[in-house]
Chains A and B, each alone.
Chain A
């Protein structure tokens, strides 16, 4: 009997155990089915127009405006290396780009394509969002327009950095309008890229974007309006050398914006972000909050990495041109050393200043240049003088002797007006000009002149893309 009890007991135990395991295995499959709480699954990220706007804000925030500003200055002739520079940007300044290690020159490739990626990922899901009323539909289409315009401008800047002067048959960059993690796109011809850019800009222009810049809360003009789309079109035309179109788009931008050139403090307050956002000549900017973009030039310990070049300073009439004091901080006691003042301080803190991505002044300069190229010297002079008279006290209008005189003066005016705004190197590229620095701006003659035909006028495509993409072709000279 003892024996039997034991057997019974064993059975009971076995049944209990078996039951326990079956129940727990079923329960456990669900137990380990967890979902993230702090992140959103890609499949369900865009469900409302507000979501789309938040996606747009991410793309606007990721816009590498500061990289563009920085690289254009240091690769061209806007700065010289300061004594306190511990290596910051020196490779780019010396045209010794290191594709394997990134750096800001090659780095712009990743920055712009990252924005393109954000845009394409969002556009792929864009039409999942169904607006509930007409107002929502307008907001949605506005977002689409801004995304397309951003995508176009990203590719334009990529072309200028990695493909060079306009030549429709030259090897361009991939025009990326999809988002596919498995794709290994090849470089397309410039013509194809320009086609993509123009298609996007046309589509953006046809969305119900408002004409004039729109303010987003206290951040101001961080979104893209139709005037900005027109401005980007003007840049594309300028790059292509389509002067008539450039005049038309610049004019369109100026008239749609409803803004005019600032004078006096209306102008100087731009550089401390104290300008009146509703009337300022700034049409679009990237907001900096917390991050000191000005630390690219001088860090918060006071160490100066780059200072404005002698060449740039020498372009200004120091006494009557208000831009000189607005753009530079001169320290008379320490030789003529000075600091970049465009990103020096704002109410939000030292070195925390917005990067201006489009100002009305640029449009006058584009139109002046395009009119000069079209031999409309009077029209060119009108734009040129309008800009200068709003910057220079007791200004006397100038006239141009001939087209060359006009172009040379307008290019100098671009150098003055738009320094540290991301144009200088691109101006060399699109006009096929060599970079020439005076000896006082360099420590070695090796860094003084870069011929327009030199391979280093194009940035190397980052090694990471060369390695990861078998279809990618490096620019000549970097292999």
Chain B
């Protein structure tokens, strides 16, 4: 990447017409071992002439005679400044650069050297992204950058994660960052059709100077993806296959087996009469007292046979999945034109039956440059297919991860005749039949293209533009086979609103389309002034237009012909007589932005950099009076080591101080809808008749949610960057937060709430990145690197209100967003078995009252996040172990509410083993209440979800170049094995502590994945 930039700059510089009195300098650039470095850039210091080295490392450059020094740089090496001797001949050996972090920051609008960048940005290198066996690239970012909180909501292959930068920025809306790929914005959270192996690196922009650049859309941070590009030189072919398997993790709880469950049912029956077999056939059941001995014996036999059935439902619904991925890329180019072409195939089977992701992608990136023109074309097309489990993340019996634990073990899966043992209350078999007889899948087509152009009119003036789009169409299909238990009745309708016709089976397709187009034109000026050329100014003026269009359409047809599975051709046309009227629905919407912005960058002697951004955004989503808004930022960088007084600070190799302040808004997560400011009516339906219903109360004063961001950072390198680090502190105040303000419905306005800009929130925190080379020599290196972030979130105002309780959570001034709010559990009364709670004033009570809810149980947004890596390299071997963690957060374990709840045993579900310690008689000391009392939501079910996860272990071996040279064809060969999600350290007792919300509801857990693979380069 840096090479590209260097070449780009060199090209710019070489285009300058020079004056007389030139001389030619020749030389050679090598690495520390004396091997030639090709493509290194040679720049005359203070002038704008430059050259690059040839394959043998040699160069020749024509410079004005006034030039005293040359700056030599190359990707992967530290740049050096060499004073030109009298001979005009130079030989340089470059030292390898320690950290790629000292590279270039890609802002999406420009590329800035880290040494000139005023903002807080973290770079995630391709090494962390490539070949990770995870289908959605946002999940891969987990633990890779400080202040970036990534939580996978699901282990279903291809599922997107929830991503937050420096804490939440909205109460009603989301806080998802803006994603930019090669200069164009792409849809967030839809990455199943993108190939992360195409990514060169990812820049995470966090502070005001980045946010203001994006104006109304930057407040939640920006994630800028730069894809791989061809390099000048011989054509390279690379093939990278990977094979493996996915496995369910280990559960930290145990369900009852048949014997235990039947015994529990008996225990329960003695307290609460029920019709469960363990009680119904029990000799202790008074209802059986008068039965004959023969009947009682037959009852015993029934219980015996039930005890002998021990279906392990977790095994029925979970599996070991297969994994394979293949990547093929071709790259190369000439001075003027370079290309990168790639194709990939990705196939991951989930750990749940009927869940997988298959993806095909193609990419072509082409660069063309002349003396004055620079063009980048990037394009990718991806197609993916995903099969889904049902009711994912839902407390529903159709969710196999719920059925796996709620199904009773004494139910066999199959009847003796081989059929699935479906029927009313047969939780396991019913869910199993749904997996077999219902299809749920989606197909997605995604295409993202961009064209970036820059033209230098003169050495000072340049113009350019970019245009691009992101297109995605997802087609979701559900097919229910008629004749199945689900279809025939008994089971819930497969989707809400589906009525009787679904007993005849149905076939349903939903099309949803997203299109985002971007156009930008810019003109700029760059110049150098002053006696010693100490003043450097760059200014660009930009005009940008973005439009987003979304639409969806779906149909459901009934009366499925069983001979035609999985096709709309199986639908019976609906008539009044057969009642099989297909359901059809759809919608569309649109939003647009127009923006003008200017960026001024001034640098003085490489010592100080000042950066100003002003942006004016117009957005269709705001009411006319508020439509155009201004955003701005100012940033400052101090390259401390260039000061005279630091001359003797020889231990330091890098020392920079940064500060920035500015304003931006959160348009991408705007909670107000595309037309929220209009009072609107929508079309509805009643009794088959069209109706007109008010849909939004409107708010003619609707405004952006603003975030004012301040950042102070220090970047340091010690002992020739052996220790490198960056420390940032920030304070972000978000104002104008939309909150749903209560409206008394009795005023006849037909709304009980309206969205108004009234809240405020603060995020402040500290972030640290550290990289330390413990051992660094030719044969052996050991590097420790880590990043840590702490974010303190606090709601500072809610307008007229002080708090909004929302079920088991509360939004309250003084608390962080996501605070739990529930009655505090005080144990079980040993005398009565009654559940006890604390009142608001700390007294123990057996009365459960919502008036005693308290918010003492923390938040589900983890304040502490981070990751660390230990990487070894010995000769050709390398090993890296990557861990990530989130700490000091808690979540509601709703699964405990179901599985430690006698009422669910009565409803015919299995429970956890602990239930056998249920309170039975006075004096019993237990944490499981008597079944005579209703099980309530309480803090008993809130658990510390802090976790440390051994996220990735990678062991590789690279064949030495000397061996490969003999093949004359193979340039590189590397073998590796890796394991993803190897182990999790946590106190959490649910499936997976990591999730994107406050409550555990049988989410699809993350798999453990093992793969082997190799990289073969020609």
Q: Which residues of A contact B (CB under 8 A)?
A: 6, 9-10, 13, 17, 20-21, 24-25, 28-29, 31-42, 45-46, 51, 54-55, 57-58, 60-62, 83-84, 86-87, 90, 98, 100-101, 109-110, 113-114, 116-118, 120-121, 173-174, 176-185, 216-219, 222, 287, 289-291, 299-303, 334, 347-350, 352, 464-465, 467-469, 472
Contacts and interface: CB of A to CB of B under 8 A. Distances in A.
Contacts of A90: 934
14 contacts: A13-B457, A25-B596, A28-B545, A55-B691, A58-B684, A100-B850, A176-B748, A179-B750, A216-B687, A216-B689, A217-B688, A289-B499, A300-B490, A348-B579
Given A58-B693, A301-B397, A101 B750 contact: no
Interface in B385-435: 397, 424-425
The 9 closest A-B pairs by CB, nearest first: A117-B750, A61-B686, A349-B500, A468-B742, A469-B744, A28-B594, A287-B687, A219-B687, A58-B691
Nearest to A471: B744
Contact of A301 (B424, B681, B683, B686): B424
Nearest to B935: A87
A445 B749 CA distance: 43
A39 B743 contact: no
Contacts of A32: 592-594, 618-620, 627
Given A24-B543, A113-B748, 19 more contacts: A32-B594, A32-B620, A39-B681, A40-B692, A83-B272, A83-B273, A87-B934, A90-B934, A117-B694, A120-B748, A174-B747, A176-B747, A176-B748, A180-B749, A184-B744, A184-B747, A302-B424, A464-B742, A469-B744
B489 interface: yes
B454 to A, nearest CB: 15
B361 to A, nearest CB: 33
A31 B592 contact: yes
Nearest to B497: A290
A114 B489 CA distance: 34
B749 A6 contact: no
B652 interface: no
B675 A36 contact: yes
A46 B692 contact: yes
Contact of B492 (A217, A301, A465): A301
B522 to A, nearest CB: 10
Interface in B583-642: 587-594, 596, 618-620, 624, 627-628
Contacts of B273: 83
Nearest to B463: A13
A60 B761 CA distance: 42
Interface string B442-477: 000000000000000110010100000000000000
A118 B750 contact: yes
A116 to B, nearest CB: 6
B687 A20 contact: no
The CB with the most chain B CB atoms within 10 A, among A10, A35, A58, A60, is that of A58
A42 B694 contact: yes
A243 B838 CA distance: 53
B680 interface: yes
B627 A183 contact: no
A17 B906 CA distance: 76
B274 interface: yes
Contact of A290 (B498, B680, B749): B498
Interface of B: 272-275, 397, 424-425, 457-458, 461, 463, 489-493, 497-500, 521, 523, 541, 543, 545, 579, 587-594, 596, 618-620, 624, 627-628, 674-675, 678-698, 741-754, 801, 805, 850, 903-904, 906-907, 934
A13 B524 CA distance: 11
B475 to A, nearest CB: 21
Contacts of A222: 686-687
A349 B501 CA distance: 8
Given A24-B543, A34-B591, A349 B499 contact: yes
A6 B579 CA distance: 79
Contacts of B523: 13, 17
B687 A289 contact: yes
Contacts of A467: 742, 801
The CB with the most chain B CB atoms within 10 A, among A29, A121, A174, is that of A121
B680 A181 contact: no
Contacts of B751: 117, 181
A222 B274 CA distance: 42
B665 to A, nearest CB: 15
B748 A179 contact: yes
Contacts of A182: 747
Contacts, number: 253
A57 B690 CA distance: 8
Contacts of B619: 32
A140 to B, nearest CB: 15
Contacts of A54: 689-692
B506 to A, nearest CB: 13
Contacts of B489: 350
A348 B424 contact: no
Given A179-B749, A219-B689, A98 B458 contact: no
The CB with the most chain A CB atoms within 10 A, among B489, B745, B903, is that of B745
Given A21-B543, A32-B593, A41 B682 contact: no
A39 B679 CA distance: 9
B746 A109 contact: yes
Contacts of A472: 744, 746
A174 B588 CA distance: 39
A109 B744 CA distance: 10
The CB with the most chain B CB atoms within 10 A, among A101, A301, A465, is that of A301
A374 B545 CA distance: 78
A153 B596 CA distance: 57
A348 B500 contact: yes
Contacts of A57: 686-687, 689-691
A121 B745 contact: no
Nearest to A90: B934
A38 B694 CA distance: 12
A118 B681 CA distance: 11
B746 A38 contact: no
A72 B594 CA distance: 56
Given A31-B594, A36-B678, A289-B688, A86 B903 contact: yes
Contacts of B521: 20
Nearest to A37: B588
A101 B805 CA distance: 9
B775 to A, nearest CB: 56
The CB with the most chain A CB atoms within 10 A, among B490, B593, B692, B907, is that of B692
B687 A302 contact: no
Contacts of A45: 681, 692
B748 A17 contact: no
Nearest to A287: B687
A348 B749 contact: no
Contacts of A120: 748, 750
A420 to B, nearest CB: 21
Contact of B907 (A25, A42, A84): A84
B438 to A, nearest CB: 16
Nearest to A12: B457
Contacts of A98: 850
A98 B849 CA distance: 9
B589 A36 contact: yes
Contacts of B697: 181
Contacts of A13: 457, 461, 463, 523
Contacts of A38: 587-589, 682-683
Nearest to B693: A58
A81 to B, nearest CB: 10
Contacts of B491: 300-301
Contact of A465 (B694, B745, B907): B745
B523 to A, nearest CB: 5
A113 B744 CA distance: 9
Given A42-B679, A61-B684, A83 B591 contact: no
B680 A39 contact: yes
A41 B680 contact: yes
